A and B are shown apart, each in its own frame.
Chain A
């Protein structure tokens, strides 16, 4: 089958600093693929190489079977990029911004106006269409930005951190927009720092850290790779993480992860019986347990588990 995106051993360095270290990706047509990773992981650099903005140092990228380096112009006809910061002309109105993009795609003035009008309606910007973008809120800018990306109904849309910096309400609106793009059959590659976002939207997730992909799969597969369930427990008073680790590692070969909350710890467990044993062991060792619960692991835990294990490998 032909993939929407096929990336083979992609590399990029800035000066001495290797930002992307040999990435492989395959994105199927019509799916939403999320590139998940923290700041500085190489997400934007990767997206810039995939969207013809940046020339790779090594490796190949095929977009719908077309090579991005050898045939950039043909690739540009198939894709559109929504960058990390809303790419809009502040001195133009929302309508004029959309008209600009439509006209640059070759539509006449009249067609451009009608396209722009329709899109402002669909993206809930019709009332504000004649206002300067300089006066738009963050959420409105993002929606206008995405609207500008689909003026020509591209086969493939790149969204670089589409909901960074948005309030929860606007984020949900942007998610709705992204889901509608998928229903229309568009392939979407998005980058995000938010595990919840990837979990909500993605068919397939690749976790990227320090320029390499450290895990890939569906949201469910990634969760399963960490353990079927997660035991989380809270302590009544602070207790040493190392001590808890050593107790559980010695007796049950379990690994313990810290949470943002210093009183909360999380343990991936394969079966319920292990959680039972772990609690028992903790009580026997007089760890001051307050409450505990057994549930599905969140992507946060998946990410933590993946990056920590990588980190350990480096340390060794």
Chain B
């Protein structure tokens, strides 16, 4: 190993003036990074994003379908929009663990001493996560079609529903990201996020119509943001969405973004890593 010779030769082969990198280029670079990461771990990703919704759909529609809705075919009409949400929301945990890993590994410290537009380190991964949500949603939807799901809202309703779910997942990502900045270890990000997500998802109208529940639970379930979003998605896909349902769904997403995006970015930029 003749480092000195190699280095002094190689160092003069490229332009050495470091520039500060703008928002667009920095964000694009972080998207590139997370896409490479996903590619390098394609098997794990496919397993989580594609296989798990498939398994959930099969279990819920065949195991519970008869008991809950009388027949599997009828249940899938009700269930599929909710399963899409059940598929995507746990994927938002990645947004938190990515940030937390960077902070615990010290990558964050290196980024912080570099002259690029700092929020890119948060925006980039979130945009890639959006791509991952899309792939997971489309594969869950495809399985739904195979199992007999037919959206009465037609193509337009389905496309709008998918776009809306991605928007919702993006807004949840911000909550999880803020946990990712605060958490001491990546494992505690997934732990505490799941503690937050799963009770909300099961105490919702994803699996069962809230009309069948006792009154007091009904109130809780109907106030649950996941239920509001699920109703909007269900409405879009069946072509029965009311303006109130859609506005309610969008309001929840905007609320999450306007509250948690500034919090996350503030916490990230002011974080002192000891």
Contacts and interface: CB of A to CB of B under 8 A. Distances in A.
Interface of A: 14, 45, 48, 51-55, 73, 76-77, 79-93, 96, 100-101, 103-107, 111, 114-115, 118-119, 121-124, 132, 148, 150, 152-154, 173, 176-177, 179-181, 183-184
Interface in B102-142: 102, 105-116
Interface string B1-45: 101101110110111101111000110010011001100110000
Given A100-B29, A104-B114, 12 more contacts: A80-B113, A83-B110, A88-B107, A101-B110, A114-B14, A121-B6, A122-B3, A122-B10, A123-B3, A153-B11, A179-B4, A183-B4
A103 B26 CA distance: 8
A48 B108 CA distance: 12
Contacts of B110: 80-83, 87, 101, 148
A76 B114 contact: yes
Contacts of B1: 124, 173, 176
Interface of B: 1, 3-4, 6-8, 10-11, 13-16, 18-21, 25-26, 29, 32-33, 36-37, 40-41, 102, 105-116, 272-274
Given A114-B14, A121-B10, A81 B29 contact: no
The 10 closest A-B pairs by CB, nearest first: A152-B18, A122-B6, A87-B106, A180-B4, A118-B10, A106-B19, A83-B106, A103-B29, A87-B110, A76-B115
A121 B9 CA distance: 11
A177 B112 contact: no
A143 to B, nearest CB: 9
A105 B107 contact: no
Nearest to B110: A87
In terms of DSSP, what is the predominant structure of the interface of chain B? Answer: helix
Nearest to A77: B115
A91 B7 contact: no
B158 to A, nearest CB: 33
Contact of B109 (A53, A118, A153): A53
B40 A132 contact: yes
Contact of B3 (A76, A90, A177): A177
Contact of A88 (B11, B32, B105, B108): B105
B82 to A, nearest CB: 32
Contact of A92 (B8, B29, B40): B40
B7, B102, B105 pick with most chain A CB within 10 angstroms: B7
B106 A104 contact: no
Contact of B112 (A14, A52, A88, A152): A52
Contact of B33 (A87, A100, A105, A150): A100
12 contacts: A76-B114, A79-B113, A83-B109, A83-B110, A100-B33, A104-B111, A105-B18, A106-B19, A121-B6, A121-B10, A180-B4, A184-B8
A2 to B, nearest CB: 20
In terms of DSSP, what is the predominant structure of the interface of chain A? Answer: mixed
B3 to A, nearest CB: 5
Nearest to B6: A122
A77 B10 contact: no
B270 to A, nearest CB: 10
Contacts of A176: 1, 3-4
A85 B103 CA distance: 11
A55 B37 CA distance: 33
B33 A85 contact: no
A76 B8 contact: no
A126 to B, nearest CB: 10
A292 to B, nearest CB: 41
B7 A89 contact: no
A93 B3 contact: no
Contacts of A87: 105-110
B112 A106 contact: no
Given A89-B107, A122-B7, A106 B20 contact: yes
B106 A183 contact: no
B8 A54 contact: no
B128 to A, nearest CB: 12
Contacts of A111: 14-15
A185 to B, nearest CB: 10
A104 B116 CA distance: 7
Contact of A91 (B18, B40, B112, B272): B40
A123 B11 CA distance: 12
Contacts of A55: 272
A180 B3 contact: yes
